């Protein structure tokens, strides 16, 4: 019982470390991409290995990010309660976790098709390098979005083993969406980032202009979702989902208050998790029930 309890506690700590619940940002768009690529439900083999690859890559990248940022996390009062600053986990065991997850990602990619296997080292480089972009460019938010955009693009490759136009449009939607709410999240650390020489759009452009940039990115995101409505000849339920997503985005931008941690968590995370699920269910409903 003691061993089982210890294993459960450690697994729980790692789940918290990588914020496993935040998989809801990329997973819904990966599922949409799979369904569109397959022209319906993909095979169970593709679904299982594709999801394993997505989760493993995300877990490895998030864990590496925590190791890369551990010094800054200790200094920042907002993040000092995270696992590495509190010594709940140590860097060595987290790096082992990273290596294991990246190995699982490569193995799962190999189980999908040769293209996924060939691109897996490139994907690992991209998702790992994000952790260091804030040290030299305020475009780190867009780079984060670019990295997470690999989920729908990779999902398409997993099904077809081929390049196509649609997944890159869907990936751009994800990139702009993620970058927008990451900018919102970053407004909490404007003074800290400036004091440490860290780059971000809020610390570089200031609060007001940063929020306008976030709005602009989300506006273009919505335009691209509407473009997909026309390009893929989608139906009214998909369009309804986009309408609900727009309302949620407006609510998100209206409740931003960097000094209120609870509101910022709702704006940066909770509402966006709902947005991704609304788009997922409305898109799948549109595909299987309406069209």
Predicted confidence (pLDDT) per residue in 46-82, tens digit:
999 999 999 999 999 999 999 999 999 999 998 888 8
Task: Provide the terminal-to-terminal Cα distance of the chain, rounded to the nearest Å.
Answer: 52
Name the residue ranges covered by the structural domains of the chain: 2-290
Q: Judge contact between 117 and 34, C-beta under 8 A.
A: no
Residue 128 to residue 147: CA distance in whole angstroms: 9
Is pLDDT above 90 for 258? Answer: no
Whole-number average pLDDT of the chain = 92
Q: Say what the pLDDT of residue 82 is.
A: 87
Over residues 81-98, the mean pLDDT reads 90
Q: What are the two backbone dihedrals, phi and then psi, of residue 280, each rounded to the nearest 5 degrees?
A: -60, -55
Q: What percent of the chain has pLDDT over 90?
A: 76
Question: How much is the average pLDDT of 32-40?
Answer: 96
Arithmetic mean of pLDDT, 142-164 = 93
Give the pLDDT mean for 224-243. 96
Query: pLDDT at residue 112 above 70?
Result: yes
3-class secondary structure for the chain?
CHHHHHHHHHHHHHHHHCCHHHHHHCHHHHHHHHHHHHCCCCCHHHHHHHHHHHHHHHHHHHHHHHHHCHHHHHHCCCCCCCCCCCCCCCHHHHHHHHHHHHHHHHHHHHHHCHHHHHHHHHHHHHHHHHHHHHHCCCCHHHHHHHHHCHHHHHHHHHHHCCCCCHHHHHHHHHHHHHHHHHHHHHHHHHHHHHHHCCCCHHHHHCHHHHHHHHHHHHHHHHHHHHHHHHHCCCCHHHHHHHHHHHHHHHHHHHCCCCCCHHHHHHHHHHHHHHHHHHHHHHHHHHHHHHC
- The mean pLDDT value for 2-6 works out to 72
Mean pLDDT, residues 95-100 taken together: 94
What CATH number should be reported for the domain whose range is 2-290?
1.10.357.140
From the list 84, 14, 266, 50, the residue with the least C-alpha distance to 157 is: 50
Q: Residue 284: pLDDT above 60?
A: yes
Q: In this predicted structure, what is the pLDDT of residue 5? A: 74
For residue 131, the model assigns a pLDDT of 85
Does the pLDDT of residue 147 top 70, yes or no? yes
Of the candidate ranges 129-133, 154-158, 259-263, the one whose mean pLDDT is the lowest: 259-263
Using the structure block, give the residue that is written with the tokens 């409305």: 282
Question: Does residue 93 register a pLDDT over 60?
Answer: yes
What is the CA angle 204-210-214, rounded to 5? 135
Query: Residue 1 pLDDT more than 80?
Result: no
Q: What's the mean pLDDT in 209-216?
A: 96
Count of CB atoms situated within 10 Å of the CB of 163 = 11
14 neighbors 89 (Cβ within 8 angstroms): yes
Q: 199 φ, ψ to 5°?
A: -100, 135
pLDDT at residue 222 tops 90: yes
- The answer, yes or no, to whether residue 20 has pLDDT greater than 80, is no
**Residue 2: which pLDDT band, with cuts at 50, 70 and 90?**
low
Confidence band for 22, pLDDT divided at 50, 70 and 90: low
What pLDDT digit, counting tens, does each position of 178-206 carry?
Answer: 999 999 999 999 999 999 999 999 999 99
Distance CA 76, CA 59 (A): 23
Token couple for 248: 């949620």
């Amino acid at each position: 019982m003691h061993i089982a309890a210890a294993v459960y506690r450690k697994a729980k700590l790692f789940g918290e470390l990588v914020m496993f619940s935040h998989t809801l940002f990329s997973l819904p768009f990966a599922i949409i991409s799979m369904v569109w690529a397959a022209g319906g439900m993909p095979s169970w083999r593709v679904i299982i290995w594709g999801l394993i690859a997505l989760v493993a890559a995300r877990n490895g990248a998030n864990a590496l990010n925590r190791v890369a940022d551990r010094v800054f996390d200790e200094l920042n009062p907002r993040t000092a309660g995270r696992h590495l600053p509190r010594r709940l986990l140590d860097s060595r065991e987290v790096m082992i976790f990273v290596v294991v997850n990246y190995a699982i990602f490569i193995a799962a990619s190999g189980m999908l098709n040769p293209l996924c296997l060939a691109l897996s080292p490139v994907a690992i480089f991209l998702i790992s390098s994000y952790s260091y972009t804030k040290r030299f460019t305020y475009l780190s938010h867009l780079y984060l979005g670019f990295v997470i955009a690999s989920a729908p693009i990779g999902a398409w490759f997993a099904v077809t083993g081929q390049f196509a136009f649609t997944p890159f449009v869907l990936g751009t939607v994800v990139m702009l969406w993620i970058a927008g709410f990451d900018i919102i999240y970053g407004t909490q650390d404007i003074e800290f980032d400036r004091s440490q020489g860290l780059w971000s759009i809020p610390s570089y452009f200031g609060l007001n202009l940063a929020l306008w940039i976030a709005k602009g990115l989300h506006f273009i995101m919505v335009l691209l979702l509407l473009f997909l409505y026309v390009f893929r000849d989608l139906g009214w339920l998909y369009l309804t989902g986009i309408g609900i997503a727009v309302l949620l985005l407006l609510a998100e931008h209206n409740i931003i208050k960097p000094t209120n941690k609870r509101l910022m968590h709702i704006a940066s995370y909770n509402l966006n998790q709902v947005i991704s699920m609304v788009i997922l269910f409305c898109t799948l409903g549109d595909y299987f029930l309406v069209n």
